[in-house]
Structure formats: C-alpha cells, structure tokens
Amino acid sequence: MDARTNPDEIARTNPDSSPGTTALAKPRKIVLVGIDGLRIDDALTGVHAPVLSAFARAGQLLPLEMEVPTISGPGWSSILTGAPHSVHGVFDNTFHGHRLDATTDFLARASHAGHSTLAAVSWPPLADPASAGPILTTRLDDQRAGRHRLVVRDGETYGYRMADGDIAAFTRLAIRDAGPDASFVYLGEVDEAGHLYGGVSPEYDAAVARVDTHLGTILDAVARRVSTHDEDWLVGVTTDHGHLDEGGHGGADPVLTRSFLALGRYGSGVPFDVDSAIRIQPTDISRILLSHLG
Ligand SMILES: [Zn+2]
C-alpha cells in the first residue's frame, strides 16, 4: 500500500504531524557522506571547508571518538555496519580474518525494509566485490532488479582527485533522477593528501577545499530534489579518522580519534534532533540515519 494513503503508515513515519492535521507523510530519504581522513577541528575553524562549516552550523554537529586502530578499514566497517572492531573483526586494510559476514551494513538494512539504495565510493574495499572486504554487501540481485546502484572508482590506483569528482558527479545525477532512499557516498582525496603531504600542508588544505566543493554539489542536488519532489531528506557527514601533522594515522592521538556526525534535514521544516547530551559512538551513526526512514 502506498505510504501516502495509509493512515497507519503516516502515523508511524510522521511523528511531526499532530492529531487533527491532514498532512501526509513525505517519502523519507537518507544520505551519508564519508570524508576520509578529515581533521574536523581544522576543517570547522579554517577557511577551506565553507560548505561543511555552514552545513554543521545550520544543522546539528555531534562529536564522536573513533576506536583504535584509527585505520580506514576498521573505521568505515564500524560506521557502516554499526558493529565495533571486536565484532566485525576488521583491524587493518588487508581485512584479513574479518567477520563482516556476521554484520549487516546500513544499506542492506534499508534494503531489507524495502528501500532503494546507492553506494558511490572511490575506495574499492568499501564496495567493490573484487576487492578485500568489501564492507558493503554487493547484493547482486538487488542491483539487477534496480533496487541497488553501485558506483566504484579506484582512487587508490588512479588518484582520488578525479575519482572523487566522478563520485560526486554520479551522486548528483542519481539524487536528481532516481532519488535513492538510502545512500552512502565516499570521498578519499583528503586522506590521500594527508599521507602524501601531511595534515597541516597546503596540499591537504587544497584537498579539503576540493572535497568541500563535492559536498556542496551533493547538498545542492538534495536541495534541488526537495524543490522538485515533496520529500524529506536527512544528510549526514562524517570521517573515519584525522591525520598527524606529518601525515599518517592508526594510533590514539586525539587528532586521529576525533570525528563527528553532522546532520542536516531538507524538505521538512522541522530540524532532525538527536539528544546532544548523549555522546554518540561511531557505531551509532548508521542507526541514527536509518531512524529517519522509520
Ligand atoms: Zn581512512
């Protein structure tokens, strides 16, 4: 049954509607944007991430601390599956001995609930079925049925600048034309620049600025989608770790463990509000996003 014509569904998915109102529930959508290796404090106090800074100011910014080792494989596994390192068994980027089979990523959870999904990533282990991992379930049947769209670019081999540009462009089109119910979008150039030049280098700042522009492209696509469709979108932005001044990560230095979840809601008129008195964990991110889908 169409959720728009089912009063029970409306009551369940639209807690903002009060008795006596005739407002119908809008279709709800979620997007999680992952920016690898972002020093969040620098990004929010500096001049290189104006889009992210404005997004965090307009919505909600929840600080969180990543589990050690602060490496991409374990970090994104925790963020995307909601399981801690001890459960998913990913402790490095080889994924050796992982137990991802015992977890369910948040896109698969959304799919199980009947939602369409998109994964657009420039680091193959996140989603490429031919890579180590992958963290996100491939779900070939869903892809063939048009319920899951997968776009992978190999930034590790061919460089992240172009790979991230492709990912942002694909995401813009997908949001405009299809409006998938649940999406994960990953951008990797900031981490690459941190490794090559260090976390306080002009090259790192330039990468932050380019990725911030990609974030702007994605947020513009959501805003346009909301203006052309009567939908209620929740966008989240996060990172898996920071970078040392000289470049590199993996340890427990606060500049490495410090992360965040920035949330912004589009098309509702009511802010998405997480109780900021509760300190969230990386493993809470997918649950918080999914709660918007109802
Ligand atoms: Zn990383």
Q: Please determine, for residue 169, whether its predicted confidence score (pLDDT) is greater than 70.
A: yes
Average pLDDT for 69-74: 98
How many Å apart are CA 120 and CA 107, to the nearest integer? 12
Q: Please determine, for residue 191, whether its predicted confidence score (pLDDT) is greater than 90.
A: yes
The pairing of strands 148-152 and 60-65 is: unpaired
**101 C-alpha to ligand 1 centroid (Å):** 21
**94 C-alpha to ligand 1 centroid (Å):** 13
**84 C-alpha to ligand 1 centroid (Å):** 16
Q: Please determine, for residue 32, whether its predicted confidence score (pLDDT) is greater than 50.
A: yes
- Per-residue confidence (pLDDT) for residue 112, from 0 to 100: 96
**242 C-alpha to ligand 1 centroid (Å):** 8
Name the band, by pLDDT with cuts 50, 70 and 90, for residue 23: low
For residue range 85-95, list pLDDT tens digits in order.
Answer: 999 999 999 99
Tokens at 173, concatenated: 């089109």
How many Å apart are CA 179 and CA 158, to the nearest integer? 29
In the numeric block, the tokens 């728009």 are attached to: 4
- Per-residue confidence (pLDDT) for residue 178, from 0 to 100: 95
pLDDT above 90: percentage of residues in the chain: 87
How many Å apart are CA 279 and CA 277, to the nearest integer? 6
User: For the ranges 70-79, 203-212, 241-250, 271-280, which has the lowest average pLDDT?
Assistant: 271-280
**175 C-alpha to ligand 1 centroid (Å):** 25
- The mean pLDDT of the chain is 92
- Per-residue confidence (pLDDT) for residue 18, from 0 to 100: 42
Residues with CB under 5 A from ligand 1 (ion): 36-37, 72, 191, 240
Domains and CATH numbers, the chain: 24-293 (3.40.720.10)
**36 C-alpha to ligand 1 centroid (Å):** 5
Does the predicted TM-score (pTM) go above 0.85? Answer: yes
For the chain, give percent helix, strand, coil, nearest 5: 45, 15, 40
**234 C-alpha to ligand 1 centroid (Å):** 24
**190 C-alpha to ligand 1 centroid (Å):** 9
